[in-house]
Amino acid sequence: MPEMSDEWRANIDAYEQTARSMIALGDELDTADWERATECPGWSVKDQYSHILGVERWLLGEAPDEEPRTVANTALDVELCRSWPPEKVLGELRGVIDGRVAVLRSGAVDLTQMVTTPFGTTMAYGDFMRFRALDVWMHEQDVRRAAGRSGNLDGPAAEVVAGILARSLPATVAKRAGAAPGQIVVFEMPARRWCVEVGADGRARFAEESGEPTARLRMEWETFVRLGGGRVDPSEADVRIIGDRDLAGRVLAGMSVMP
């Protein structure tokens, strides 16, 4: 078995951190919290936990059916657990996460194996764990916002999410927003900043900020995450726009990368 790389170990660390944070959060929720609506249309707080439970159970090889989990059937496990009380969902998730972490850290999973992810892409299992951290963290934040229990906005999982969402920004600016060569868009948050410039070839790249950009988008980190996750209508997001408002509007409209 190949030695685990530092990057893959960090992906597993991030995954475990947000999964255990979500479980600890579940221990704090009351009956009303479990029934609250979240920003995933039609899903309650309990449904969020059911979804994560189902995907992780499937990855552990313990799904109650033969259906692969994909973006096309995300409601499958929500429906399977619909009649379950919250404490059963949470208890099952706790056991499944313990099992998944043990398997991942023991070397029983070949992290070099190429796998087809629920998103339909193919990558090494160790890289796929980065996206498991993203998915779990995004749903943890859905629950936190719904229940009014903000937290875990920093740390290993948040850094993984920041990296994934940041990598999508050049395509957002050049392809989705149609920025012209020479135009520059800066995404500015209290602790993070990315500057994206469109080159003469029409392709966007990260660049050092110098002078005033074509458009500057100032927002909180949580707003950035909600936009990247498709959790908020761009027209309703709390973003301060400085500069070209038309370009900024197209950028905001193209920021969602989650199916």
Model confidence pLDDT, tens digit, residues 69-88: 998 999 999 999 999 999 99
As a CATH number, domain 6-164 is: 1.20.120.450
Q: How many Cα atoms occupy the beta-carbon half-sphere of 151 within 13 Å?
A: 15
CA distance 137 to 151: 11
Evaluate if residue 221 carries a pLDDT over 90.
yes
pLDDT in tens, 104-142: 999 999 999 999 998 889 999 999 999 999 999 999 999
Q: Which fold does the domain 168-253 belong to in CATH? A: Nonspecific Lipid-transfer Protein; Chain A (3.30.1050)
The domain segmentation of the chain, as residue ranges, is 6-164, 168-253
pLDDT above 70 (res 2): no
Burial bucket for residue 105 (CB in 10 Å: 0-12, 13-18, 19+): middle
216 vs 82: CA distance, rounded Å: 44
The span from the CA of 259 to the CA of 139, in Å, is 13
Write down the pLDDT at residue 56.
Answer: 97
For 73, phi then psi, to 5°, come to: -130, 40
**Burial call 134-172: b when 16+ CB within 10 Å, e when fewer:** bbbbbbbbbbbbbbeeeebbeebbbebbbebbbeebbeb
